A and B are shown apart, each in its own frame.
Chain A
Amino acid sequence: MVTREDIENIALLSKLFVDEKDLDSLTEEMQKIVAFADTINNVEVKTGEFDNINNLSNAFRKDEVKESLPVEEILKNAPEQAEDHFLVRKRA
């Protein structure tokens, strides 16, 4: 059973605000999704542990130093920046 407290807790972990007025409807929605997810618990898994799709092995590249992305280019997308850094204000 998903409770209002569960939703408040996972919203905090997810760094999302859930408006007080939406809490009940969201709890109900999440309960339905969890019930849907619960259907897997009726299934017996015969296979062993599985951790990698397609049994792919990592396609490593050579450990060579390559050029990094230029700082000024990266900062162009930042909402705020100062002195080659991302700027985060305490309040706005």
Chain B
Amino acid sequence: MSINQTPTDQTRIHTPAPRRRTRLDAQFDRIRAREEAGLARSGSGSRAVRKFLNNRLAVFGLVVFSIILLASILAPILTPYDPNRINLRAILQPPSWEHWFGTDRTGRDLFARVLYGGRISILVGLGSALLAAIIGVLIGVYSGYVGGWLDALAMRVSEIVMAFPQIILVLLLVSILGQSLVNLMLIFTLTGWAGIYRMARARMLSIREEEYVLALRSFGLSRPLIAYKHMLPNALGPIMVNITLSTAAFILQEAGLSFLGLGVPLSIPTWGNILNVAQDIRVLQTAWWIWLPVGAVISLFVLSVNFIGDGLRDATDPSQQG
């Protein structure tokens, strides 16, 4: 919306006055040659990477993110326990050397549940964000460049989707489609594509008028080819930022819905489902190890994703400084 269109994007065009060539000019020519030969992309890529790596918070985020992600993937190596294996003779045990995060009301090892639960929660978050991004970008890039009835339709639909407070729409869809892992990802995708679609479309609209696009068009390249092959890469930065931020949002939403008992079915361990028991006031009061560590893990993971997103934004978007 208009709040994003701050007037800071103005670019000034310098027209160099004719003057004597220097050694610097020769150097500049070489750089330009490289650039024209298409070698400069890796250079600009590494600049973004360097910038990202200089951002301490972003690096911290990346490290935490990797640790939690790897721990989830490597869960069978890290813990001998099966997350669904009960032991009714060892219920509600506080953390110990044997059970790092303690055990829950049926004696399941909570550390194992947090690790295995991470797999599903991250899958839901990242998977839905990627799906939403794919759909949003596919439609956004095409309709942004080509326009037409698809553009008009997608625009209206996205307006409707975005008019809802997200949780209200998600709850409506949950009650319509029912509870399952696949449905939840579907719902997140349905509610999440609009934002990235608008962003991709806006980028396309601004890139559309650039000279290289006009040049490509004059070569007679097909419009989808221009849009997806030549224009899309120039919008990748913000798209990546958007994917990370929606991953964070979806993980938070999965946790919230599962906490309300409206998310992933309880038979599948997820971070939100582990937290679900904290609605029971006695668990809340007497068994902090059931809900506190997993809540901390969710928070830490979402925090790390947000740091990464922020770092990516700073690294890829030159207009965002400080």
The judgment on whether A and B are partners is: no
Binding site for B on A (CB under 8 A): none
